[in-house]
Amino acid sequence: MSAISCRNLCKTFRQGEEVITGLDHVNLDIEGGSFVCLSGPSGSGKTTLLNAMGGLDTPDEGEITVGEYRVDRLSKGELADMRLRSIGFVFQSYNLIPVLSARENVEFVMQVQGLPAPERRSRAEQVLAEVGLSGLEERLPGDMSGGQQQRVAVARAIANQPALVLADEPTANLDTRTAAQLMDLFVALNRERGITFVIATHDVRVMGYARRLVSMRDGLIVADEQQESHSMEV
């Protein structure tokens, strides 16, 4: 069963008088439990496609189905609910709330969901331990390294137990060793929890982790290959 199905997706942007093609009749199916990288240079359309999958951007044409949701037909409120309950997001800029501790950042999504405080705390501490941050639960983002902050972001992304995690250039601000640790964590979560991962990246080292590599250029899918994944060299 497909976790994500994209049909004939089109998206353009205006830059002054110029019209930029973000997606050009893109068709793509991603099976549940997959580990996929969307690759390509800046402007290739990979982030636009990732954002469309997550309901963060609306295509001009086409259909997107994520799990049970027909994304292109949802209202803003329904999109927000889908993202809250079904998708975890990891961004290159971490997007943590600076005045909240690591635990409170992870709890935030669950608080919005309406989970009771004891359950939020217990689950937050559990996922922080899972990503290797035991003992740092009360630390503020500003007192953590970039790799630690990204691990908090991952913990927040998986705290609501999503079937799908979308990651946009998650290693962009990390050194090679920390990036390798993050990717190893993604692989472990994929294997142990069965979470579907779709990662947009132009980092060839990250691409090596993917079992499926979808290459994009000028809003088009130009290659779609299965590959044997391997770890990042450090």
Domain CATH code at residue 183? 3.40.50.300
- The pLDDT value given to residue 15: 83
Q: Decide: 181 and 18 in contact? Cβ < 8 Å.
A: no
Q: Decide: 214 and 224 in contact? Cβ < 8 Å.
A: yes
- The pLDDT value given to residue 186: 93
How many distinct structural domains can be found in the chain? 1
- The pLDDT value given to residue 84: 86
User: Does residue 233 lie within any of the structural domains?
Assistant: no
- The pLDDT value given to residue 35: 96
- The pLDDT value given to residue 26: 96
- The pLDDT value given to residue 178: 87
- The pLDDT value given to residue 233: 58
Ramachandran bin of 122, using left for φ above 0, alpha for ψ from -120 to 50, beta for the remaining angles: alpha
User: Does residue 231 lie within any of the structural domains?
Assistant: no
User: Does residue 206 lie within any of the structural domains?
Assistant: yes
Kindly give the parts of the chain with pLDDT less than 50.
none
In Å, the largest CA–CA distance within the chain is 54
- The pLDDT value given to residue 64: 95
pTM of the model as a whole: 0.92
- The pLDDT value given to residue 197: 96
| Residue range(s) defining the domain that contains residue 11 | 2-226
User: Does residue 234 lie within any of the structural domains?
Assistant: no
